[in-house]
A and B are shown apart, each in its own frame.
Chain A
Amino acid sequence: MNEQALTGVINGLAAFILLTAFVMVSHNRMNQLVRTFAIQSIALGAFAFAVAYYTGSDHIYVIAVLTIVLKGIVIPQFLKYTIDKIHVRKEVEPLVGIPLSLLLCAGLVMVAYYVAEPIIAGADAVTRNTLAISVAVVLIGFFLMITRRKAMSEIIALLVIENGIFLGAISITYGMPLIVEIGIFFDVLVAVLIMGLFAFRINQTFETLDTTFMRRLKD
């Protein structure tokens, strides 16, 4: 494959990752949210594969496989299991209406581009342009987290932020050292397991996953 086609594939996958982030904002069912997260993670894995092929470094291949297996399969399955287990209403109930959130997120993309531009100007990596997209995905993740009420959708928002950071790490530095990446993957996995348990307990105590109830907790 020649270099130009490869750059095209890398940019296309980055655009697709951004697209899935927007699709997640537009969903109003938790199952859809989990499924789109899985698709996003698989696209992220494919992105890592393309970068690994471009740079020829072995450890990015390992990271790509780990991404697809852990974030594309294991974590979504676990989240699905938890959602099925706690019989809550499956709607996401955003605080801001979906059309408005989509427009706000489009604004966030512009902010991300504005923020990332000085860094892009000085970089020479093939993936430098995807830095703006990774910042945008992180910002959209934050937005998802503050506008959703249910604990479950907030967990997914956290994972979206993590995906954004991962994308950023690959795009500016061609990935962190393998040992750091593996540490992060392990952290994410454990964090999701623990948060799943927390969601379970929240649901048991309050009979809902709505986190606004937890603000009333005082000594």
Chain B
Amino acid sequence: MSDLFLDLTFSLLQTLFMLALAPLIIGIIRKVKAKFQRRRGPSIIQPYYDLAKLFHKGSSQSSTVSWVFHIAPYVCLGAVLVASLMVPFFITNTLGVIGDLIVVVYLLAMVRFFMTLAALDTGSAFGGMGSSREMMISAIVEPTMLLAIFTMALITGTTILSDISFNLASTGLDLVHPSLFLAAAAFFVCLMAENARVPFDNPATHLELTMVHEAMVLEYSGKSLAIMELASWTKLVLFAALMANVFFPWGIATEVTAQAIIMGIVAILGKVVLIALVIAVIESSMAKMRLFRLPNLLTVAFTLALLGVLSYYIL
């Protein structure tokens, strides 16, 4: 019983940690991109100010919207937070008992589903366009993500995310398998696609020809926009945590001691910031792809994940 209590405490702590960290990571990405463009850029804590400002503003919306539009931000943020209860962040004690990797992947699918529904609900042309594009991308991303994490489940012999990182972190290098790298590469492409980063979508654009994610949250304002933004930023940190802890979990705390936990916090902060830097470098060095070229890149990622599973059996 106390074990469950410990898991509950730690998973709540980790969820709060991810939520609090999310704007900072976005701030870091924006700062690095600004440096690449030889701008000074806003301070890395600017996203916190933005959120605070949005929370204090009133929101206005179209008169035709239904209840879906009103509840969507809460559903999105709620689903992301529930998913992050099951994802290890700095320690492998999480609420794995309530759900494994499939639950996490489909909670994230629920976020996407409600976002597209809300965008369709407003009846604006941009919303419909954004939703159809988002669905086109996610149709390939979802199986890729599942296959990539399944590869890790095969290697470690469990589908519970925290057990995957526990097994990998405690066994050391013996479990490293070529398919780990294939799956990690596939998952990284999913990370970029799901979080609307550059080769797939431009997070800074409001140009109707190119926007995908921005088109969907275009009708939101004030508090609901703040919640929507916070949900998608937390989703980015959640993906970074999945990338760091499912594929390269070394350094994460596997036991409840102060030393291990401090070590785990330092390790995960380092890894998440590293992933943020990689994203910023990729965004600064690549142009957004044409929408009809996206299936090519996504199918490459899908094949990578499939190869990961296949090469687990072959090699």
Q: Which residues of A contact B181 (CB under 8 A)?
A: 12, 15
- Determine if A144 is an interface residue (Cβ-Cβ < 8 Å): no
With contacts A12-B181, A15-B179, A99-B295 known, is A22 near B303, CB below 8 A?
A: yes
With contacts A11-B315, A98-B296, A113-B314 known, is A105 near B303, CB below 8 A?
A: yes
With contacts A15-B315, A129-B315 known, is A8 near B176, CB below 8 A?
A: yes
Q: Which of B260-315 contact A (CB under 8 A)?
A: 295-296, 298-300, 302-304, 306-307, 310-311, 313-315
- Determine if A132 is an interface residue (Cβ-Cβ < 8 Å): yes
A15-B182 in contact (CB<8A):
yes
Q: How large is the interface on B (under 10, 10 to 19, 20 to 34, 35 or more residues)?
A: 20 to 34
- Determine if A138 is an interface residue (Cβ-Cβ < 8 Å): no
Q: Which residues of A contact B311 (CB under 8 A)?
A: 15, 18, 133
A14-B178 in contact (CB<8A):
yes
A22-B307 in contact (CB<8A):
yes
Q: Which of B216-241 contact A (CB under 8 A)?
A: none
- Determine if A146 is an interface residue (Cβ-Cβ < 8 Å): no
Closest to B311 in A: A15
Q: Which of A87-134 contact B (CB under 8 A)?
A: 98-99, 102-103, 105-106, 109-110, 113, 129-130, 132-133
Looking at chain B's contact residues, is the secondary structure mostly helix, strand, loop, or mixed?
helix
Q: How large is the interface on A (under 10, 10 to 19, 20 to 34, 35 or more residues)?
A: 20 to 34
A19-B307 in contact (CB<8A):
yes
- Determine if A203 is an interface residue (Cβ-Cβ < 8 Å): no
Q: Which residues of A contact B296 (CB under 8 A)?
A: 26, 98-99
Q: Separation in Å of the A171 CB from the closest CB of chain B?
A: 11
- Assembly CA distance A144 to B190 (angstroms): 27
A22-B315 in contact (CB<8A):
no
B310-A109 in contact (CB<8A):
yes
- Assembly CA distance A113 to B307 (angstroms): 12
A106-B315 in contact (CB<8A):
no
- Assembly CA distance A186 to B33 (angstroms): 50
- Assembly CA distance A8 to B181 (angstroms): 12
- Assembly CA distance A12 to B178 (angstroms): 5
Q: Which residues of B contact A130 (CB under 8 A)?
A: 315
Which listed residue, B179, B300, B313, touches A113 by the CB 8 Å rule?
Answer: B313
- Assembly CA distance A103 to B300 (angstroms): 9
Q: Which residues of B contact A103 (CB under 8 A)?
A: 299, 302-303
With contacts A11-B178, A106-B310, A110-B310 known, is A98 near B315, CB below 8 A?
A: no
With contacts A12-B181, A14-B315 known, is A106 near B295, CB below 8 A?
A: no
Closest to A99 in B: B299
- Assembly CA distance A130 to B300 (angstroms): 22
Closest to B308 in A: A15
Q: Separation in Å of the B241 CB from the closest CB of chain A?
A: 26
- Assembly CA distance A109 to B304 (angstroms): 12
Contact with A along B152-180 (1 / 0, CB 8 A): 00000000000000000000001011110
| A contact set with B: CB distance below 8 Å | 4, 8, 11-12, 14-16, 18-19, 22-23, 26, 98-99, 102-103, 105-106, 109-110, 113, 129-130, 132-133
20 interchain pairs, CB-CB under 8 A: A11-B315, A14-B178, A14-B315, A15-B182, A18-B307, A19-B304, A26-B296, A26-B299, A99-B299, A102-B299, A102-B300, A103-B302, A105-B303, A106-B306, A109-B310, A109-B314, A113-B313, A132-B314, A133-B311, A133-B314
7 smallest CB-CB distances across A and B, nearest first, come from A15-B178, A99-B299, A11-B315, A12-B178, A102-B303, A132-B314, A98-B296
